[in-house]
Amino acid sequence: MALHNMLKQAREQAGLTLEKAAECIGISGASFSRMENGLSKVTMDRLEMLATLYDVSASALVAGSIVTRLSTIDLDRLKLVVAAVQEVVNDLGANPSPEKMALAVSELYRLEINYIVNDATAEFSPQRHLGIIEAMFTG
């Protein structure tokens, strides 16, 4: 099912009117309607806001389902992100604070979600993010 159809279904399941959902994410009802009808693109920021508003998984919406909690795919990908960050930290001999580790993991996971929006079946590849992770813990 197309993303715009999934968004409409998730909104209806959450019991929100189109106008109320539009108000919650700060856009006009007309703009929201175009998004739900597939006439305008859904930005990553809006996808994340809508997923939060509807209490669903953004990656599941992209994959064509409505999941009201983290899916196994999300959790598995998150584990891989944590392992990739930890490996770079170990290789660099860094000793980051828990806050910096949390920030790195959350940012990398956000980037990974952005990546899978374009290809929901893409496998996680730490090489895709190594430069970013290293930059977070050096300098």
What is the spatial distance between Cα 23 and Cα 27, in angstroms, rounded to a whole number? 6
The domain boundary residue, chosen from 18, 41, 63: 63
The domain boundary residue, chosen from 25, 40, 63: 63
Q: Residues 13, 52: one domain? A: yes
For the chain, the residue count is 139
> Which residue is listed with tokens 């939060």?
52
Per-residue pLDDT of the chain (139 residues; tens, 9 = 90+): 788 999 999 999 999 999 999 999 999 999 999 999 999 999 888 998 999 899 888 887 888 877 665 566 678 888 999 999 999 999 999 999 999 999 999 999 988 887 777 776 778 888 888 899 999 998 6
Domain that holds residue 25: 3-63
**Four-CA torsion 107, 112, 114, 116, nearest 10 degrees:** -170
The domain boundary residue, chosen from 15, 35, 63: 63
The domain tally of the chain equals 2
Furthest-apart CA pair in the chain: how many Å?
52
Q: Residues 59, 82: one domain? A: no
Q: For the domain that residue 38 is a member of, what is the CATH number?
A: 1.10.260.40
Nearest to 138 by CA among 106, 130, 83: 130
pTM of the model: 0.52
Q: Residues 7, 52: one domain? A: yes
What is the spatial distance between Cα 113 and Cα 7, in angstroms, rounded to a whole number? 17
- List helix spans (H) across 1-139: 3-14, 18-25, 29-36, 44-54, 58-63, 72-92, 98-118, 130-137
Q: Residues 89, 120: one domain? A: yes
Q: Residues 107, 133: one domain? A: yes
Q: Residues 78, 127: one domain? A: yes
Q: Residues 57, 98: one domain? A: no
